[in-house]
Amino acid sequence: MNGQGFCYARGDPVLQAQKVSKIYALGKEKVKALDEVDFLSTQGDFVVINGPSGSGKTTLLNLLALIDRPSQGEVLFEGKPTSKLSERDLAFLRRQRIGLVFQTFNLIPVLTAAENVEYPLLLLNLSRQEREQRVRSLLEEVGLDGLGRRRPDELSGGQRQRVAIARALVTQPRVVLADEPTANLDSTTGKQIMGLLQNLNGEHCVTFVVVTHDPAVPPYAQRVLDIRDGKIQGERYVADRPA
């Protein structure tokens, strides 16, 4: 699956949401952050969920990432419902099958770039050799060759996000979810990061789900969903993706 650029399972469902709603209680008031949202992403997909601030993007992403549970509806992972799974099972799925990229990079500051990338592998019972091999090849792939020994505070924002992307991919997940990955980067760097995600999507057969309000992001997707007030408003396919 690594780097062949060919995807046997393309089209298999990976993440699915069926009529999911999320209601937050704000004191006595109830905020409906998501309202019966349906969503499907398949193997090799590159979806961008686009919407303004407060539209429910992060809420939806957290549900799809199995970090949070919906108030109503069902989230399916690889076709299987997840609402009955225990916290332990969800954590297992997260570390084995899901990669995450955050707006603020969220690297562990006391670990070097290479150690940050290696970190998720520590729970996966891999040999040291295998871990080092994966870390090296991913750092190279995200363009951080030779920077593995730097701490996050010795890296630029774009470099940090590259480390985070390597960390998300190192466990060879089925899907990588990213919440506003470009929001803390200047526009040029943001475009580079999106280009990188696009390449990795092609190379690794990994599904990418990116939520954003950055208008520069959607062109990199295969598919764009617009979200507003907790509802998916529409879906479009991107014809001209930047090379």
Partner 1 sequence: MNLKLALRNVFRNRRRTLFSLLVIGVGVTLLSFVLGFVAEALRSTERSLALELGALQVGDARVLEGRASGLEALISPSDLDKVVGLVRTVEGSRISPQLNFAGLIGNEKGSTLLLARGVVPEDCMADYVCMLVAGRPLAEREAREVVLGERLAGKLNLRPGDTVNVAAGTVNGTLNASTVTVVGTLRLSNAQLEERFALVPLGFAQRLVRTTGVERVLIWIEDLAEAPQVRTQLEQRLKDAGLSFSVRTWQDLSPFFESIGTFWRAFSGLTSLAIFVLVFFSVLEVLTISFLERTREVATVRALGVPWSRVFGNFVLEGMAVGFLGGLAGVMGGIFLGLVFNALGLTFVPPGGTMPQPIRVAVGLQTLVVPFLLALLATAASSVYPGWKNARLNVAEALRAV
At position 2, the amino acid (one-letter code) is N
Residue 41 tokens, joined = 């992403």
Residue 53 interaction partner, one of ligand ATP, Mg ion, partner 1, none, beta carbon < 5-8 Å per kind: ligand ATP
Q: Binding of Mg ion at residue 106 (CB under 5 A)?
A: no
State which of residues 17, 41, 43, 57 lies at the interface with ligand ATP (CB under 6 A): 57
* Burial of residue 36, with CB atoms counted within 10 A of its CB: 0-12 exposed, 13-18 middle, 19 or more buried: middle
Q: Does 181 bind ligand ATP (CB under 6 A)?
A: no
Interaction of residue 58 with Mg ion, rule CB under 5 A = yes
Of 11-40, binders to ligand ATP (CB under 6 A) are 24, 26, 31, 33
Using the rule CB under 5 A, is 96 a contact of Mg ion?
A: no
Q: Quick one: angle between helices 157-169 and 128-141, nearest 10?
A: 140
φ, ψ of residue 42 to 5 degrees: the values are -115, 170
**If binding is defined by CB under 6 A, does position 122 make contact with ligand ATP?**
no
Q: Residue numbers of the site for partner 1 (CB under 8 A)?
A: 58, 62, 65, 67-68, 87-88, 91-96, 98, 100, 102, 104, 106, 108-111, 115, 118-120, 122-123, 167
54 contacts ligand ATP (rule: CB under 6 A): yes
Residue 92 CB partners (closer than 8 Å, separation 6+): none
Contact region with Mg ion (CB under 5 A), list: 32-40, 50-58, 92-100, 193-201: 50-58
**Phi, then psi, of 238 in degrees rounded to 5:** -95, 125
Backbone torsions φ then ψ of 59, nearest 5 degrees: -60, -45
Are the C-beta atoms of residues 224 and 52 closer than 8 Å to each other?
no
How far does the chain reach from its first CA to its final CA, in angstroms? 23
166 interacts with ligand ATP by CB under 6 A: no
Q: Which stretch binds ligand ATP (CB under 6 A): 57-65, 138-146, 161-169, 185-193?
A: 57-65
For 122, which DSSP code?
Answer: G
User: Which is nearer to ligand ATP, 53 or 125 (by Cβ)?
Assistant: 53
Q: Site map for ligand ATP, 206-235, x if CB under 6 A?
A: -------x----------------------
Tell the smallest beta-carbon distance from residue 12 to ligand ATP (Å).
28
Measured CA to CA, the distance from residue 210 to residue 200 in angstroms comes to: 13
Element (H, E) at 159: helix 157-169
Binding partner of residue 163 among Mg ion, partner 1, ligand ATP, none, CB cut-off 5 to 8 Å per kind: none
- Cα separation, 223 vs 239, in Å, equals 9
Instruction: Give me the residues that bind ligand ATP (CB under 6 A), please.
Output: 24, 26, 31, 33, 51, 53-59, 213
Instruction: Give me the residues that bind Mg ion (CB under 5 A), please.
Output: 58
